[in-house]
Structure 1
Amino acid sequence: MKTKYVDLIEQTYDFPQEEFALKDNQLFFHGIDLQALIHHYGAPLKFTYLPKISDNINRAKDWFSSAMKKNNYSGKYHYCYCTKSSHFKHVLNEALKNDIHIETSSAFDIDIVKHLKAEGKITDDTFVICNGFKRDQYVRNIADLVNGGHSNCLPVIDNYEELNLLTSATDKKFKIGIRIAAEEEPKFEFYTSRLGIGYKNIVPFFNKNIKDNDQVELKMLHFFINTGIRDTAYYWNELVKCLTLYINLKKVCPTLDSLNIGGGFPIKNSLAFEYDYQYMINEIINQIKNACDEAGVAVPHIFTEFGSFTVGESGGAIYEILYQKQQNDREKWNMINSSFITTMPDTWAINKRFVMLAINRWNEEYERVLLGGLTCDSDDYYNSEQHLNAIYLPKYKKDKPLYIGFFNTGAYQETIGGYGGLQHCLIPQPKHIIIQRDPDGEITTQVFSEQQTSQQLLSILGYTENKQETLINSVLASTQTLS
């Protein structure tokens, strides 16, 4: 009778897989000995495996190149990274090694752009696609880029007032895009996205506000579906409507030459994950070409804005099972030495699921469990996995430590969780390490941030003084006294 954890995984999934392998009954991730990582750095632990970022970027580039060649598509492809998925410098530095462009969402994003330009990571030729609702500082920062000669800064108009705000902030000529307010899927709470301008209003908006405006050049139509790029009737229907609009707009606007199909490539959330990326891209490129050929207009250059797809599969989190609580005859709670709410907020905020596996003790019997976090919040748990809607782990033994890993957590979790700030119930943020490979293929690691300390949290709360802030305040007080 097969009752070991390794038996369960091998019977349930096709295992091992590209990134996961088993050696000496312990889990390896992209060739990384996770148990050795734990021995060296401890747990809880978060990590970012940087090579996966470049790997996914270049996979997407190859897919689009293949699709364009297959369909004899004359337009160019531009890969953009959505900074909101992870703003960390090590992430941007890795992504920008691959001749890509970026998409921003807010005023402070532009400060990151300026920093990257100063370091030579991007140039004036790098497309900076400025999405999001734009007011005040964001508009001023975009104008700074335009005034500084960043020829490929391209703000995407989200509402009718933004064009006037931007033209008032700079005297320079600049390029723009317009975002379509796509219809949401039928089961969504709203009929139309709050982002962008409605299909039927875009051509009239162009004719009235852009056509005779010498300061502005419309280059891009931006199309994004909230559910992502999926093989559904809803997605294809919205794409057809988008192409109809592009063609109608192109006929009155010769400068329009780019179509941004947004982001939304799914990433692996289970060992059973399946998605034919090449097929989807082939179909998208084919539909765009056919629609443009039939209408007698030139095909557009294609932009994508991949955030989660770029960085999601580079991240992971490791926890130790501290204790097991038998709450009734059926429910066993394995308590981790951290919190799901604070370290992986999407698990409770949007019920998101990640790949979850035991790291050690694969050759032992398994049991069905629930996973609980350390906070006193009833929502601090993770209790659903892909195999039979339950979690199975090697049996808890007090004298034999058990470690578990959550994988593909690299997008959004730090920013949504308030990285570097207060955490629910003051559960500290775990240590975070960066994993790279040197030119010889050897794995190297470095600590990006240590686990939060009590002193750091108390300082935020005002119980202890921040020495730097105290110095600044004393200098300001002295200046006021002298004046």
Structure 2
Amino acid sequence: MDVINKYGTPLKLSYLPKISSQIQKAKQWFGEAITNNNYSGTYTYCYCTKSSHFSFVLNEALKNDIHIETSSAYDIPIVRILFENNKITKATNVICNGYKRPEYTDYICDLINEGFNCTPILDNLDEITAYEKGIETSCNLGIRLATDEEPKFEFYTSRLGFRYNDVVQFYKEKIEPNPKFKLKMLHFFINTGIKDTTYYWSELSRFVHMYCTMKKINPDMDSIDIGGGWPIKTSVHFEYDYKYMADQIVKTIKKVCDEEGVPTPNIFTEFGSFTVGESGAAVYSVLGSKLQNDKEEWYMIDSSFITTLPDVWGLSQKYLLLAVNGWDKPYKKVKLGGITCDSMDYYNSEAHQNLVFMPELDEKEPTYIGFFHTGAYQESLGGYGGIQHCLVPAPKHILIDKDADGNFSYNLFAPEQTKESMLKILGYKA
């Protein structure tokens, strides 16, 4: 309420200490798993920047001795700025993923030629040609393997990465004869994330068996990169045993390697949503209510779900939804509507039930509601500072930090988008 009273709504919050807290938890869980399983490899935490590219996110995350994973050409100028500002060094691992345009591979070559610890992860058979031409020194390479998607997915195999059957021949023909390259890493990514399912453990085991096959013919291979990430809390009923999952990942890798008689690899993870998701929130005012038939009551918010929480609209994503005030008032079943003219601009159910309950409205006091753990992807997907549906402006964005004495500080990162900025983009103003 302090923030709402100072800045008004709609607004977005970023609570920076949560980012460091998440990183330290993961490091602790994997550290314990490595110790408990007598695992000989190391653990490296990478933040995948695509979850949120904002400087305040990277600045906070990099306080925790982590490394980064990129997915776009424009990530590389960010890497350079971080280096210039002493947030990273040339020894920091920069894992470069994605299907790459020429600009991206050119930037990667420049980093490597300048001595950065940059590892391009090959996504297709032709990508290596760019590095053969552009890299003047030697470099480490990785290969992404195309995993089979979950049975309910529209496609059988991921469009990203190499087919398992192509890896050995590709290595022998393109990497082994070339003194410029060392194949150090295999990359594994499950689109639906790390889950305790037969599907996940089956795919992970298949991947580690492939690592063992490559290690036997390629002594340089020593690392695996596990993408997909851990889930975050999106409901008050959310349960996930992170410590158990870290232990089982390490245990599975060790078991397969022991069976194959191969040394265990160093483990890299790429956590994006887990790193930054739970640091974010969106807060709205209820403008008023509308009873549209005998029993469907709508609370209309002072913004739009389509523009500020596009996962809600595009993926039917559910978030932790709570009233900010009015907890002592009677609650009623409602639906939440955004102010655009789009019929899909609504939120009508929690992750654990098909209902939303909110306090009854009070003419004397505005009602505020908050969506929590919204810190990953929303600005990337919805666009930040650009044209939004029905010209609904991007809300103000507040950064919240806490010092060593437990005192909070609030800083306005960006004001609400202005009509002037929109008119300029649309061509009405110079």
Please classify the TM superposition score into its range, dividing by the shorter chain length.
over 0.9
CA distance in structure 1 between the aligned counterparts of 2:128 and 2:9, rounded to whole angstroms: 50
SS where residue 324 of structure 1 aligns?
Answer: strand
Matched, 1:338 2:316: no
Q: Which runs of 4+ in 1 moved over 4 A?
A: none
Matched, 1:372 2:350: no
**Residues 90-130 of structure 1: CA distance to partner in whole angstroms, max 9, x if unpaired?**
10000000000000001000010011011111111100000
Identify the residue that residue 126 of structure 2 maps to in structure 1. 161
Which residue identity does 1:115 align to in structure 2? I
Please report how far the alpha carbon of residue 386 of structure 1 lies from its aligned counterpart in structure 2 after TM superposition: 3.7
Identify the residue that residue 451 of structure 1 maps to in structure 2. 416
Asked if 2 retains the 8 angstrom alpha-carbon contact of 1:180 and 1:223, the reply is: yes
Matched, 1:121 2:92: no
Matched, 1:39 2:10: no
SS where residue 261 of structure 1 aligns?
Answer: strand
Q: What aligned pairs does 1:44-443 form with structure 2 within 5 A after superposition?
A: 44-150=10-116, 152-386=117-351, 388-443=353-408
Asked if 1 retains the 8 angstrom alpha-carbon contact of 2:50 and 2:70, the reply is: yes
Please report how far the alpha carbon of residue 199 of structure 1 lies from its aligned counterpart in structure 2 after TM superposition: 1.2
Which residue identity does 2:173 align to in structure 1? K
Q: TM-score, normalization: structure 1?
A: 0.88
CA distance in structure 2 between the aligned counterparts of 1:386 and 1:344, rounded to whole angstroms: 15
SS where residue 223 of structure 1 aligns?
Answer: strand
Which residue identity does 1:212 align to in structure 2? P
Asked if 2 retains the 8 angstrom alpha-carbon contact of 1:50 and 1:434, the reply is: yes
Change (3 A) 1:234 1:423: same
Change (3 A) 1:193 1:280: same
**Residues 50-91 of structure 1: CA distance to partner in whole angstroms, max 9, x if unpaired?**
000000000000000000000000100000000000000010
CA distance in structure 1 between the aligned counterparts of 2:419 and 2:278, rounded to whole angstroms: 31
**Residues 228-269 of structure 1: CA distance to partner in whole angstroms, max 9, x if unpaired?**
100001001101110110100100010000011113200000
Please report how far the alpha carbon of residue 167 of structure 1 lies from its aligned counterpart in structure 2 after TM superposition: 1.6
Asked if 2 retains the 8 angstrom alpha-carbon contact of 1:102 and 1:129, the reply is: yes
CA distance in structure 2 between the aligned counterparts of 1:341 and 1:165, rounded to whole angstroms: 39
Identify the residue that residue 471 of structure 1 maps to in structure 2. none
Which has more radius of gyration?
1
Asked if 2 retains the 8 angstrom alpha-carbon contact of 1:143 and 1:169, the reply is: yes
SS where residue 134 of structure 1 aligns?
Answer: coil
SS where residue 53 of structure 1 aligns?
Answer: helix
Which residue identity does 1:146 align to in structure 2? I
Please report how far the alpha carbon of residue 397 of structure 1 lies from its aligned counterpart in structure 2 after TM superposition: 2.9
Identify the residue that residue 469 of structure 1 maps to in structure 2. none
CA distance in structure 2 between the aligned counterparts of 1:360 and 1:383, rounded to whole angstroms: 20
Please report how far the alpha carbon of residue 387 of structure 1 lies from its aligned counterpart in structure 2 after TM superposition: 5.2
Please report how far the alpha carbon of residue 290 of structure 1 lies from its aligned counterpart in structure 2 after TM superposition: 1.4
Please report how far the alpha carbon of residue 400 of structure 1 lies from its aligned counterpart in structure 2 after TM superposition: 2.6
CA distance in structure 2 between the aligned counterparts of 1:139 and 1:387, rounded to whole angstroms: 44
CA distance in structure 2 between the aligned counterparts of 1:112 and 1:336, rounded to whole angstroms: 35
CA distance in structure 1 between the aligned counterparts of 2:387 and 2:372, rounded to whole angstroms: 24
Asked if 2 retains the 8 angstrom alpha-carbon contact of 1:323 and 1:398, the reply is: no
SS where residue 190 of structure 1 aligns?
Answer: coil
Please report how far the alpha carbon of residue 342 of structure 1 lies from its aligned counterpart in structure 2 after TM superposition: 0.2
Stretch deviating more after TM superposition (354-363 or 160-169): 160-169
Q: Percent identity?
A: 57
Which residue identity does 2:133 align to in structure 1? S
CA distance in structure 1 between the aligned counterparts of 2:373 and 2:94, rounded to whole angstroms: 26
Please report how far the alpha carbon of residue 134 of structure 1 lies from its aligned counterpart in structure 2 after TM superposition: 1.2
Asked if 1 retains the 8 angstrom alpha-carbon contact of 2:319 and 2:351, the reply is: no
CA distance in structure 2 between the aligned counterparts of 1:51 and 1:388, rounded to whole angstroms: 31
SS where residue 62 of structure 1 aligns?
Answer: helix
Please report how far the alpha carbon of residue 297 of structure 1 lies from its aligned counterpart in structure 2 after TM superposition: 1.1
Asked if 2 retains the 8 angstrom alpha-carbon contact of 1:76 and 1:302, the reply is: yes
Please report how far the alpha carbon of residue 296 of structure 1 lies from its aligned counterpart in structure 2 after TM superposition: 1.4
CA distance in structure 1 between the aligned counterparts of 2:314 and 2:55, rounded to whole angstroms: 26
Identify the residue that residue 477 of structure 1 maps to in structure 2. none
CA distance in structure 1 between the aligned counterparts of 2:286 and 2:207, rounded to whole angstroms: 49
CA distance in structure 1 between the aligned counterparts of 2:278 and 2:53, rounded to whole angstroms: 15
CA distance in structure 1 between the aligned counterparts of 2:49 and 2:237, rounded to whole angstroms: 29
CA distance in structure 1 between the aligned counterparts of 2:217 and 2:420, rounded to whole angstroms: 62
CA distance in structure 2 between the aligned counterparts of 1:395 and 1:363, rounded to whole angstroms: 10
- Segments of structure 1 that go 5 or more residues without pairing to the other structure are 1-34, 466-483
CA distance in structure 2 between the aligned counterparts of 1:446 and 1:227, rounded to whole angstroms: 35
CA distance in structure 2 between the aligned counterparts of 1:227 and 1:427, rounded to whole angstroms: 31
Please report how far the alpha carbon of residue 174 of structure 1 lies from its aligned counterpart in structure 2 after TM superposition: 0.7
CA distance in structure 2 between the aligned counterparts of 1:452 and 1:37, rounded to whole angstroms: 18
Stretch deviating more after TM superposition (357-366 or 202-211): 202-211
